Every structure is written in structure tokens, then in C-alpha cells.
Amino acid sequence: MQTAILVALSVVVLYVLQKYLEFRRAVNSIRDHPGFRTVFTMANPLLMWRIPGIAPGNFSPWTYKHQDFVDKGWDVISQVHAWPRTTVTYLLADAGAIRDVANARARFPKPVEQYKILSFYGSNIVITEGDEWKRQRRIAAPAFSERNNKLVWDETINVMLDLFDNVWGDKQQIEVDHIVDLTVPIALYIIGIAGFGRRMSWSDEEALSSGHKLKFKDALHTVSTDLFLKVVCPGWLLRLGPTERIRHFRLAYDDLELYMHEMVRARKQSEKKEERYDLMSSLLDANEDESDGKTRLSDEELVGNIFIFLIAGHETTAHTLAYTFIMLALYPEEQKKLFNHIKSVIGDGRIPAYEDMNALTYSLAVFNETLRMFPPVNGIPKYSAEDTTIVTSNAAGEKCTVVVPQGARFLIHTPGLHYNPRYWEDPYEFKPARFLGDWPRDAFCPFSAGPRACLGRRFSETEGVAILSLLVSRYRIEVREEPQFVAETFDERKARLLSSAQSITLHPVRAPLVFKRR
């Protein structure tokens, strides 16, 4: 028995020694560039919060924003962890370094294996690299056209007018227990019609389609909300369905897949070749226009890209709008500036048209400032395909050449960049006007950066400006008063309303607001 224990201890000691030597080699390979040295990686979902020496924290980019870079002295810092595999990761909050990494796709490709969560319905533009990405992007890019942007604007206005007329009606005050409960259906209805030609209304008149157990909007909302279950739950557990939430997710997941395949088949088999500018129609048209049939997207790839459009167009915009309404409620002086600006553009009380968008500069500034302060994705991964170097600097203007070994990981640290005082004066303050003049575009990447930047940026901006401009022109936004919080200070109220969590994107935990008719 003693011999067995000694053998086991020897194996453990040898393993620990091997991992330590691998760890030291990794630290030496980067010349011990300042940063974190931990046992576990930042990507460990079980260790979301920072434990010094143990784990840097999965939620730490949002929690610490630019402070880690201040503490370590540079806007590129390292993170070396020992287990399960010794890895070097660089965190980037330097606009120049980010621009270089994002634009050099061959040297710094995307680690597509980290995006498996988005591949369940089929290959798509987000999870591919190299020639395959180029093929899919060439076909998908034309779907995001000026005609589609105008459709987004018009349908956004229709969705909001439907809300005002048929839900809020003549009420002088509308209380919302959690703002996400309002912004999620708004974004869902807009992506439904502007993305896929499926009109949905607030009256919930959508009929249950034959062969389905859930309505389209319910299936989409459930999948986008609980997609993480597909990652954390093995297939047998999903099939077993031990909880109501897991069973409902599996039902929604299967139903949404069926809906998407039906949409593709229906459009392909349609005899009426009417002009339609929703994303799916444009994607199918571009696919059919490929002269070389070998380069066309398969049905699985079409469904995979449709799913990406649905998720990206639904969740990210919904959560950004939620934060926007919270900030306007917290800062009534900024809301007044926005209202006055909107009235100066549409002062005759008319409904804003797409042609007004370029004049609604403060609406876009408010939307962009929200994206700066609450970027939907806190980290954008890359890796180094070769031994190379990058250059960074610090607040004093000093330069540093950072050694990058082949295989090193990068994380474009969006909060670190967006809260970097080198680029943004008073970065923790809500100042939409900073986006009215010249502003540091390389230091703003809520839609990623370089050739792989989000194709749907203009779609999102158009939707956001239309919603803000129409809603703020008619309603004043305030924080809903609750007796248990009557004695809180402004800072306490702000912290409570902006308390956030991360699913696919960053989102507020709970923020009750009131909309009062002007």
C-alpha cells in the first residue's frame, strides 16, 4: 500500500514539476513582459471572478476595464497560465497594436475553435477563416445594402408606432419592471421583418405554424437567451431534459432549425420574383448569382448564416438599447440635449424618415457612447501564426517592443480600449458629444475591427437611431422609484441599474424604468 502511495505521489510531483518548467519556459519566451501569472486561464467558465495567482477571472475585462493596464504599466499586458495547457495570452488596449493585429489576418488569424457555440446550425461567416471565410463573406456582404438599411429604418418605425398605438395607447405613464423586457421584443420584431420578411406584432396574433410547437418569435427568443445550455450540457443531458428549462430550450432549438430550413426552401421555391430587400432574400439572391455553382453556399451554410444574422441582430442591439435607456434615465440633462436635437431635425412633429438619419447626429452619438461604455463583446480573440513582435506604449508615451511567440493568443480587450484615457477624456463619464466631432476611430471597436469587422454595423446603427429618435421625441425616460431604494445615493442607484452579467453579450441584470408621455 505504501509503495502504491509513493508511486502516486512521485507521479504527481513529476507532473507538477513538468508543468512548472513549461510555465517558466513560456514566461521566458516573452521576456517576462508584465502581466498575470496564474494556474488557470481567463476562459475558465467556473472561475469568473479573479483569484490572484489562481485565475485572472473570466469576467475581469468588464470588471477592471483599463485599470489592469494602468497597474501593469503598458497597454499590452501578458497572461501566462499553467493548466490545462501552458499558454501565453496578450491583452490589448492599445489602438495601434489592435489595428495592426486586426488588419494582418494572415499573421494573426481568428481562433475559430472558440466559436463552436455559433456553429450548431451550420458553417457561417463568423466561424470560418481563410479562403472559406472569403467565400462566405463575398456572398453575405451584399445583403447589407443601402436598400436593406432603408427597410430597417421603415420597419423599425412601424414596430415602434405599433407599440405606441396598440400597447401603450393613451397611457400617460408606462412602467417597465426590467428594460430588457421591452428592448428584446423590439429588436426581435425588427430583425424578424427586416432580416427575414417575417412580420410580428405586439398583439401576439402570430399563428402557430403547422408542424411547430412554438411560435417563431418564442423559439428565437428562447434559443438566443439559453444558447449556453448547448455548450455546457452534453447531448445526452439535453435529450434527457431533467429540468423544464432544458426541455424548453431543446424544443425551441429544434423548432428554430425547422423554421430556418423552411424559410430557405420557401424562398427558393417561390415563383413570384418580387423585389425584396430583407437580409435573407438578399443572401439567397447573391447565392444564386454565383456563376460557379461550386462556390455557392449549401443549405446548411445558408441556415448557419441566417442563424448568425438572427442572433447578432437580435441580442446585441436589444442589450445596447437597454443600456442606452438606462443612461438617459440616469442623466436627464443628456436626455434633454437629445430631445432638443431631435426636435430641431423633426420639429414639425412628423415621423422621422430614413432621409433624416444623417441629420440625427446626437442620436447616433448617444448610441455610440453607450456602445463605448457597454461593449456587447468584452474580448475579441486572435492568435499568432508565427514568431513576431508588436509595439505598444504607455501613458508616458514610452514605446515597448513585445515579443510574440508562435501560437500566442491575443484578446482585443474592448473595455480596456474603450476606457483608455489616452484616447477618451474622462472615459468613465457619459459624454455622447465626444462622438460629434473628430474622435479616435481606431480606439472604438464594439463591432470588432479590420477586415472581419461586423457586416451588420450599419443595420444596428440605423435601428438604434430610429428607435431613439422616435421614442425620445414622444416619451421622457425616468428611473422607476421603488420604496426599498428610496434612500440610495446617485452612485448607488447607478451601480444597481448598471449591474451586468454576460451571456452571449453583456446585459443589465435588472433595471426598472418609466416612460412618461411628453
- What is the spatial distance between Cα 431 and Cα 337, in angstroms, rounded to a whole number? 11
The string of DSSP codes covering 157-215 is HHHHHHHIIIIITT-SEEEESSTHHHHHHHHHHHIIIIIHS----TT--PPPPTT-SS-
- What is the spatial distance between Cα 21 and Cα 8, in angstroms, rounded to a whole number? 20
What cell was used for 365? Answer: 452619438
Cα–chain-centroid distance for residue 484? 33
| 3-state SS class at 516 | strand
- What is the spatial distance between Cα 80 and Cα 87, in angstroms, rounded to a whole number? 6
Residue 352 per-residue DSSP state: P
- What is the spatial distance between Cα 304 and Cα 366, in angstroms, rounded to a whole number? 32
Binding residues, as ranges, are 454
Q: What count of residues does the chain have?
A: 518
Binding residues for heme, as ranges, are 454
Residue 51 per-residue DSSP state: B
- What is the spatial distance between Cα 12 and Cα 17, in angstroms, rounded to a whole number? 9
> In one letter, which amino acid is 419?
Y
Sheet holding 173-176, edge to edge: 173-176, 513-517, 475-479
